[in-house]
Each structure stands twice: as structure tokens, then as C-alpha cells.
Structure 1
Amino acid sequence: MEAAGWVTATLAGIAGGISVLGYLFDQVPPLSQKAIRAVRSLRALREEVKRSK
């Protein structure tokens, strides 16, 4: 009976971990687009600073 509890808890933990990983992987594309925009903005700022010197 005690083993069934551990098995259930382990399976619930694995399912929860998979669910969290799935959510995190779904966030990669939007975050990468934000990172690309941020890098482009920083490059433009750097170029503007170079031109103003």
C-alpha cells in the first residue's frame, strides 16, 4: 500500500515536470524575438553614439 503512494507521487512529479518543461519551451520563440529586438536596438544606439563623436 505504501509503495502505491510513492508510485503515484513519483508519476505526479514526472507529469508536473514535463508540464513545466513544455510551458518553458513554449516561451522560447517570443523571448527570442524580444532578444533580437533588444540587440538590434543596442546596435543602433552604439552606431548613433559612434556617429555623434
Structure 2
Amino acid sequence: MEVAGWVAVAVGSIAGGVTVLGYIADQVPGLSTKVIRAVRAVRAVKAELKRSKRP
């Protein structure tokens, strides 16, 4: 009987992990566009700082 409990815990853990990974994978397309915009903004700020340092 004790083995059945451990099997239930293992199956539940695997199912939970798959659910979480599926949710994270669903978020990637939306986050990738935000990351691209953030990287472009940081590059623009960096370029502006370089331009402002030149005499």
C-alpha cells in the first residue's frame, strides 16, 4: 500500500511539472516581443550616451 502512495505522489508531481512547463512555454511569444523592445531601448540609450560624451 505504501508504494501506491509514492506512485500517486510521483504521478502528481510529473503532471504538475508538465502543467507548469506548458504554461511557461505559452508565455514565451509574448515575452519575447517585450524583451526585443527592451533590448532595443537599452541599445538606443547606450548609443545616445556615447554620442553625448563626444566633444
**TM-score (ref. length: structure 1):** 0.79
CA separation in 2, counterparts of 1:2 and 1:51?
A: 69
| Identity percentage of aligned residues | 62
Structure 1 runs (4+) deviating above 6 angstroms are none
Number of residue pairs matched by the alignment: 53
Unaligned runs of 5+ in 2: none
Q: Which residue of structure 1 lines up, in the alignment, with residue 40 of structure 2?
A: 40
**CA RMSD for the aligned pairs?**
1.3
Deviations 1:1-53 (A, max 9, x none): 11111111110000001011111111111111111001111222233333444
Point out where structure 1 has 5 or more consecutive residues left out of the alignment.
none
Q: Which is further off, 40-49 or 27-36?
A: 40-49
SS in 2 for 1:27: helix
Deviates more, 1:9-18 or 1:40-49: 40-49
